[in-house]
Structure 1
C-alpha cells in the first residue's frame, strides 16, 4: 500500500478495475490496497490520492479516497457517443461509468460518432458529476488498422511520435563512428564477436564473445551499445528518453525509447560496421565461477547478426551459412558454458519458470493473420544466462565503489500468499514441500522442477508467478528473490531501457575515476518513474495482443476450442484457449484450475478484447478436473534428488538481459 502521512492517511496512485480500484504500492514488498465506495468517482486511473483506511470483509482493511493530490494525465481516450444532453467519450477499456462529458471540440476537429478521440480534461470529476473536457484529437474508427494501437498508447499517456527538438538533435549525429571517437577505447574489431536477436529485431543492444584463456578458464565478453556516449544529460534526447523510460513492443509495432536513427542505426550493433560499446569481461573457471572481471570502453565490429533459430541450429551441429570457424567454435563453447551457468544458478536457489508467450502475426496493413506460440529455444537461454551474469557483475562492481545506480530488486514473497499457493497446488494434487513458507526459494524450485513436462506445467507456473511480488527499480541496493542474487541491475539494454543508460553513466564514472554528483540526483523519483512506465508498457503490450487476437477470433465465432481453466471467480471460470493463448469467460460455470474443457466461442468484444464462451460438452466439466498426479514428476519418492532443469528460455523481449526479471 502507499506511504503514511502524519495524519495517518495513506498516499499512493490509483489503478481502476471497473467497480473497484487499488492503491498501488510505492515501496518494493508492500501489498496493494483495495479501494471501494462512492469516493472512487473522485479519482481517475493513475491519479495520486490520499486514502483513509476503513474496515473491510474478513478483517482486511479497504481504502476510501479522501482527496486527489495530483492528476496522472491531462486527457483521456474514448469512443464518441451521442447522449441525451450532448456527447460522451466512452472508454473502450474500463467501465462505461468512466465516460467523459464532451464540453467542446477544438478548432478543426470534427469527429464522427463512433470514432476514437482524445479528450483534454477541463472539469475534473466530483461525487455528483463525471469529468468533462474538450475533444482535441480524433484518432479514427477503432476498426481501422492501427487505430486501436494508438488508443492503447493514448489511454496510458504513452508517447508515439518524437518532438521536433529530439529529431533535430538525433539528426546532428554522424552516420558512422569516426576516428576521434576511438581515443582510449579497447579495440575489439578483430575479435569473433556477434549478436543474437529475434528475426524481426532492429535494435541490437548486445553482442557476445568467448575466449579460451587456459584449459580450465574462459573469458566471456558481453559488449553493450554505448548509448551514453551519444545521449548526454541535459539534452532533449535524454529528457525524452527519461520520460519514456522504455521502448514499447506492441503486437504490430515498436515504439522506441530513442529516435530511430539512434535505436536502429548509430547505436545498434549491426554487422560489419564499427560501433562504440561498453564491454564487461568475466573470467570463469571450470565450475562457472567468476574469478575475475573488468569493464572497458571499447569499439567492436560484429562479424555476424544471428537469429536465435540460427544459433540453435549451430548449437545442435546444423549447417548455418556464412559462419567462420572461430564463431562456430565459440557458439559450441558458449552452449557448454550457458548450461554450466544454469546449473550454478539453480543450485543457489534461483527460480526457473516457463510462461507461454504468443505472437500475433500481422500483414503489411497491420491486420492480424494468425497467432503463433513463441518457441523457447536453448539459444534464448544461452543469451539470457550471459546477460544475467553481466548484470550481476556490473551491480557488484558499482556497489564495491559505492557509486549510485538503479538496482533491480525483487522482494521475498509474502507468507500469506505462499500459504494460498500451497493450498491451490494441493488441490491440483501437486506435492508441496513443508518448507514452502520457511525456505520458499528451495520449495518453489522443487515444485517447478517436478511440474516440468507435466500437462499441468503451465497452470503450476502461473500459480507460482501470481504468488510472487513484482520486480522493480530502486535507488537502494536490494536482493533479487527470483534470481537468488544479492545484487542485480540492468546494464545490457540501454537502447530500450532508461535504467540501463543510468547504469552506463555510473560505469563510465567508475572507469574514468571521477565522482559524478548528478548520478545520485533524483534517483528515488527516477526509480519510481521507470517502474511505473515499465508497468504501463507491459500493460500496453498485453492489451495490444489481446485486441488483435480478439479481432482474429471474431471470424471464428461458433467454433469449438480445447481450453484449460486458468482462473475462477464467483460469476464463472476463465478458460485459456490452447492454440491462441486467448482467455475467455464461461459465465455461471465452476471447475478446478487446470481442468481441460471444450468450449464454444459465442461472442467477441473487439473493443475490450473480451471473449464469451459456453460449454461445448456439458458433461466434460466434472470429468476433466485434474486428478491427483500419480507419477514421477509430482512426488519426491520418485525423484529424491531434483536435477537442474535445462529448459528453453523466455522470448527476447521479456527482461533478464534482453528479457523482465
Structure 2
C-alpha cells in the first residue's frame, strides 16, 4: 500500500516542470513533514519523483541556496536538515499601497500579513524577524515585526517642505512616512527643492524618523534635478568622485610597442563597429576574413577593459560598486569614467585598440569549425550606426557591403539554428523620446530591432555562449572551475497554467509537457499573435510568466536562449560581470587554478541587484517623461488597451505605448470586484467586465509628475 501511494505521489509530482522557486517550495514542504530528517539531493529527487539529470542538478543548487539563506542547516557535505522551527521567521518586507505589508520568508509556505501598526518602523525591502501568530482558519497568516535585521535603505530622495522651525522630506515612491528634518540639518535646502536625506534616528514612539539633508539636487521640475532624483531614489550615483576621474585621466591612450608584441595582431583584418547613433562607448567590433580553405574567419573583438582597470585600484572599486552603466531617457550614467568608457577603451575607428577576442572559423552554412580566445590588437576601419548598416543590408551597396552582407547571411543561419533548438523569440518594441535641450519631451517614437541589430546580437550571443562552454563544459566527474554565468530559470509552472487558461479565450494554446515543448509552442504563439488585437496583452503576459535572468557561479543554463552554458563577455565597458568573465578566462587560458567561488558568487549577487536597480531607474525615467509629455494632452480622448488589472484600478496603454490608470473610484456605475484568476474587474450587480486586453476609450484626466502618475477616466465619446 505504502509503495503504491509513493508511486502515485511521484507520478503526480513528475508531471510538473520545476524551476528554482517551485523546487524550494517542494523541498521545504517535504522537510516540514519530517523536520528531524537529514537528506541529500538524491533522496529529494526520489521523494519528488525527479529523474532527469538537469532538474536533479538544480536540486543541488537549491539546497545550497536554502542553506545560505538560513532555511536549512548543512550537517555535512551535501547533507541538509531543516532549521529548528519556532514561532519566529525571517523575511523581506513588501509594502502594499494601503499601508500594510507582507513579509516573504523561505521558512514559511505563504507570505505573512503585517498590519501597519505591527510593522514597528520596518520599511519596504528590510530584512526582519517576525513573530507569527497562531493560524486562524480561512485567514491569511498574520504576525508582527519583532526586530529589523537589515535596513534595505536609510537614504531617501524627495521634496523638502520647510516651515518656520523645522522641515519634512516627502519621499518619492512607495514610502509610508515623511522624514522630520530639524532646521539646522537642512544643509541649505529651500522649500520645494529636490534633496537627498538620510535617516539618523527613529525613536520608538515617534511617528516619523529624524533625518538630515545630505545633498540638494535642485528645483522641482528642473530636468537635471529630476533625473538625479530618480538615480538617488534607486541608490545610484550621478557623478564620479574627483579622485576616480583624476586616476582615469592618468591612463595613457597610446599603446606601448612591447604590449602589441604580446598579442595576436589583427590590425590588417577588415574590422568595423555597428552601434546606436548616439553611442560613444564602443564595446565590440566584428572582423571578417576569407580563409584559403573557403571558410570564414569571424572575429568578435571586445574592449580589453581589465588591461586598464586593475584589481585593488579606486577605478576598480568604483566599477565594482556601480556594477553597470545606467541608461536614462536623456543620458547614460557610465560604470567607468568617461576617459575610459568613451576614450581609452572605446573601439573608435582609425585607432589601434587592445581587445579580448573570440575568433571563430565557420563554413558558408555557419557551421563552427574552430574557435580561439585570447588577447589581440585591432584597428577599426569604420564606425557604422545601426541605420547605416541596415541600409547596406537592404540596398546591397555602401562601405564594406560584401562583409556586412556575408555576416548578415551567417547571422540569419545562426539565428534559425538557435530558434530551432528552442530559443524563445521575444522582440519587444522600445519606447524613445525626442527631447529638446532642456530635457522636455517633444514627441514619442518606437524603436524596433532590425536585421543590423540582430546581426550584432547573434555574434555576441555566439561569443558569450562559447566562452561559457569553454570554461564550464568539462568531462564527466570533473568539477568545472569557478565562472560567472548568466542564468535564466525555467518559467513558474503555476503562472504558465494561468497564462494558458487566459489565452484559450483568444483561441490560442501552449504545450506544457516539457521545457522544450513550452519554448516551441511559445514561439508559435508569439508568431501567431503578430498583428492581432490581442498581440500586446499576450506578449506582456508571456514575459510576466518568465523568470528573471541573473548572474551566478552556479550554472543552471539559460532557458530563454535554450543554452546550457551562457555568460556575459561582450560588454565590459558597461557591465562588471563581463570584467569578471574576462579576468577568469584570462586566468584559465594561462592554466590558473579555480578562483574562490564564494567571492565571485557574492559579486554576482551584487551585480544582479544593481542591474535590477538600473532597470527600475530606467523605467522611472521613461514614466516621468511619459507623464511630462501628456501634461499637454489633458482632456484629450484616446483609444487604449487594458494592460493591467488590480483591486485599485485598471491600467490602460495607449497606442503610443504610454500607460496610465483609471482609479477604481472612477468606475462609479457599480461596485467592482477584482477577479484575479481572469485578470478582470467585474461589476457586482451589472456583471459589467473590464478585462486584460480589452479595447476601451479613455480621456486624459490628470498628471502628477512628482509621483510619475498619469490618470485616465473612461470615455464614451468616440476618438477623433
**Number of the residue aligned with 1:537:** 614
Q: Deviations along 1:36-69, whole A, 9 cap, x unmatched?
A: 4234452234433335667699787677544221
Q: Which residue of 1 aligns with 2:466?
A: 393
Q: What secondary structure does 1:349 align onto?
A: coil
Q: Is the 8 A contact 1:567 1:593 kept in 2?
A: yes
Partner of 2:339: 261
Q: 2:168 aligns with which of 78, 88, 93?
A: 88
Indicate conservation of the 8 Å contact 2:162/2:190, yes or no.
no
Which piece of structure 1 moves more, 35-44 or 442-451?
A: 35-44
Structure 2 residue 433 is matched with structure 1 residue 360: yes
Q: 2: CA distance between counterparts of 1:363 and 1:516?
A: 52
Shift of residue 584 of structure 1?
A: 3.2
2:195 to 111, 117, 130: 117
Distance of 1:298 and 1:363 partners within structure 2: 41
Cα gap change, 1:15/1:204 in structure 2, threshold over 3 Å: closer, same or farther?
farther
**2:716 aligned with 1:617:** yes
Q: Distance in 2 between matches of 1:507 and 1:432?
A: 40
**Cα 1:99–1:184, aligned 2, differ >3 Å: closer, same or farther?**
same
Report the CA distance shift for 1:248/1:63 in structure 2 as closer, same or farther (over 3 A): farther
Residues 446 and 64 of structure 1: CA distance in aligned 2, closer, same or farther (over 3 Å)? farther
Deviations for 1:74-113, whole angstroms, at most 9, x for unmatched residues?
A: 4211211257984221123224x32112135447x23222
Does 2:552 align with 1:474? yes
Kept in 1: contact 2:167–2:183 (CA 8 A): no
Q: Distance in 2 between matches of 1:85 and 1:415?
A: 57
Aligned to 2:499: 421
Aligned CA distance change for structure 1 residues 32 and 406 (closer, same or farther; 3 Å): farther
Do the aligned partners of residues 302 and 59 (structure 1) sit closer, same or farther apart at CA in structure 2, a change above 3 Å counting? Answer: farther
Matched residue of 2:413: which SS? Answer: helix
Q: Distance in 2 between matches of 1:117 and 1:228?
A: 36
Cα distance change on mapping 1:63 and 1:388 into 2, 3 Å: farther
Map of 1:47 onto structure 2: 126
Rate the CA distance shift 1:283–1:453 in 2: closer, same or farther, 3 A. farther
- 1:215 deviates by 7.4
Q: 1:580 to 1:466 in 2, by over 3 A?
A: closer
Find out whether 1:579 has 2:656 as its counterpart. yes
**Which residue number in structure 1 is paired with residue 10 of structure 2?**
none
SS of the residue 1:153 aligns to: helix
Aligned to 1:194: 272
Q: Report Cα offsets for 1:128-182 as digits up to 9, x if no partner.
A: 6332211222222221121111111111211111122212221111122232321
Q: Deviations over 1:235-292 (max 9, x none)?
A: 0000000000000001111110001100010000000001100110122345534332
Q: Is the 8 A contact 2:441 2:625 kept in 1?
A: yes
Counterpart selection for 2:326 from 227, 230, 248 = 248
- 1:403 paired residue number: 481
Once residues 62 and 340 of structure 1 are traced to their aligned partners in structure 2, the CA distance between those partners, rounded to angstroms, is 56
- Is 2:693 the partner of 1:594? yes
Whole-angstrom distance in 2 between the partners of 1:164 and 1:492: 28
For the 8 Å contact 2:165–2:182, the answer to whether it is kept is no
SS at match of 2:540: helix
Cα pair distance change 1:115/1:187, threshold 3 Å: same
- Greater alpha carbon shift after TM alignment, 441-450 vs 113-122: 441-450
Contact 2:354-2:377 at 8 Å conserved across structures: yes
Counterparts of 1:351 and 1:57, CA distance in 2: 43
Greater mean alpha carbon deviation, residues 39-48 or residues 378-387: 39-48
**Structure 1: 4+ residue segments shifted above 6 A:** 24-27, 56-60
1:655 corresponds to = none
Quick check: 1:349 aligned with 2:426? Answer: no
Question: What is the DSSP-based 3-state SS (H/G/I as helix, E as strand, rest coil) of the residue aligned with 1:138?
Answer: strand
Q: Pairwise mapping of residues 317-396 of structure 1 onto structure 2 (< 5 A)?
A: 317=395, 319-320=397-398, 323=399, 327-396=400-469
Note the C-alpha offset of 1:563: 1.4
Deviation larger for 367-376 or 271-280:
367-376
CA distance in 2, matches of 1:31, 1:306: 53
Question: Which residue of the other structure, out of 635, 639, 643, is the alignment partner of 1:558?
Answer: 635
CA distance in 2, matches of 1:566, 1:112: 40
Within 5 A, what are the aligned runs for 1:27-106?
33=111, 36-38=114-116, 39-40=118-119, 42-51=121-130, 65-82=145-162, 86-95=166-175, 97-106=176-185
User: 1:531 and 1:578, CA in 2 relative to 1: closer, same or farther beyond 3 A?
Assistant: same
Do residues 488 (structure 1) and 587 (structure 2) align? Answer: no
Aligned with 1:478: secondary structure? coil
Q: Kindly tell me: are residues 58 and 475 of structure 1, through their superposed partners in 2, closer, same or farther at Cα, counting changes over 3 Å?
A: farther
CA distance in 1, matches of 2:520, 2:137: 34
Residues 82 and 238 of structure 1, relative CA distance in 2, 3 Å threshold: same
CA distance in 1, matches of 2:224, 2:119: 32
C-alpha contact 2:572 2:578 (8 A) present in aligned 1? yes
Q: Normalising by structure 1, what TM-score?
A: 0.86
Cα separation, partners in 2 of 1:25 and 1:187, compared to 1, 3 Å = farther
Distance 2:315 2:103 in 1: 33
Partner of 2:263: 185
**Structure 1 pair 20/415, CA: closer, same or farther in 2 (3 Å)?**
farther
Contact map agreement 1:41 1:125 (CA 8 A) in 2:
no
Q: Is the contact made by 2:511 and 2:518 (CA closer than 8 Å) also made in structure 1?
A: no
Cα distance, 1:474–1:127 mapped onto 2, change above 3 Å = farther
SS in 1 for 2:692: coil
Q: Distance in 1 between matches of 2:661 and 2:526?
A: 26
**Maintained 8 Å contact 2:112/2:140:** no
Higher RCO (C-alpha under 8 Å, 6+ residues apart): 1
Pair 1:132-2:205 in alignment = no
Structure 2 unaligned regions, length at least 5: 1-20, 22-65, 72-82, 475-479, 668-688
Unaligned runs of 5+ in 1: 621-661
Q: Using a 3 Å threshold, how does the CA distance of structure 1 residues 149 and 602 change in structure 2: closer, same or farther?
A: same
- Answer whether contact 1:567 1:574 (CA < 8 A) is retained: yes
Bigger radius of gyration: 2
Counterpart in the other structure of 2:589:
511
Q: State the distance in 1 between where 2:332 and 2:90 align.
A: 34
From 635, 640, 647, give the equivalent of 1:570: 647
Deviation at 1:17, TM superposition (A): 4.6
Distance 2:406 2:626 in 1: 40
* Whole-Å separation in 2 of the counterparts to 1:507 and 1:464: 35
- Corresponding position of 2:676: none
